[in-house]
């Protein structure tokens, strides 16, 4: 049954990720990969919230972990897209935006976990 939960959660996360891409494609703000950044940060927020608030409950880990953490968060965030978009920035010579993309993704996602780890 866990396979089905991962499949459904991953589908929902992937559709939301695609929606971010469509939404942000209209804006093209400052050359940054905003859709990927938002998807990664949102996935970290959901992951951190689920882990902190439900992670200690045994029934969460067995019933919802495959759906939320592996499926939804895995489908929503994507390291491959982040890597590709950053590579394209470097290839175009947009070194400052490439470095900014790396720093924003890492710092904001780590910051999310630091906030929720305090409880």
Residues 6+ apart with CB under 8 A from 61: 55
Stretch 1-27: mean pLDDT: 91
22: left (phi over 0), alpha (psi -120 to 50) or beta: alpha
pTM over 0.85: no
pLDDT at 38 over 80: yes
| pLDDT tens by residue, 46-84 | 988 887 777 666 666 666 888 988 899 999 997 878 898
Nearest-angstrom CA–CA distance, 50 and 60:
9
Per the document, the length of the chain is: 119
| pLDDT tens by residue, 90-112 | 999 999 999 999 999 999 999 99
* Domain residue limits at 70: 2-117
Total domains in the chain come to: 1
């Amino acid at each position: 049954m866990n396979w089905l939960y991962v499949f459904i959660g991953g589908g929902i996360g992937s559709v939301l990720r695609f929606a971010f891409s469509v939404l942000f494609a209209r804006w093209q703000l400052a050359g940054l990969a905003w859709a990927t950044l938002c998807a990664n940060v949102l996935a970290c927020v959901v992951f951190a919230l689920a882990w902190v608030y439900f992670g200690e409950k045994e029934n969460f880990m067995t019933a919802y972990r495959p759906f939320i953490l592996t499926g939804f968060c895995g489908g929503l965030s994507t390291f491959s897209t982040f890597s590709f978009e950053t590579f394209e920035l470097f290839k175009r010579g947009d070194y400052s935006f490439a470095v900014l993309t790396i720093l924003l993704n890492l710092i904001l996602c780590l910051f999310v976990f630091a906030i929720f780890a305090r409880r």
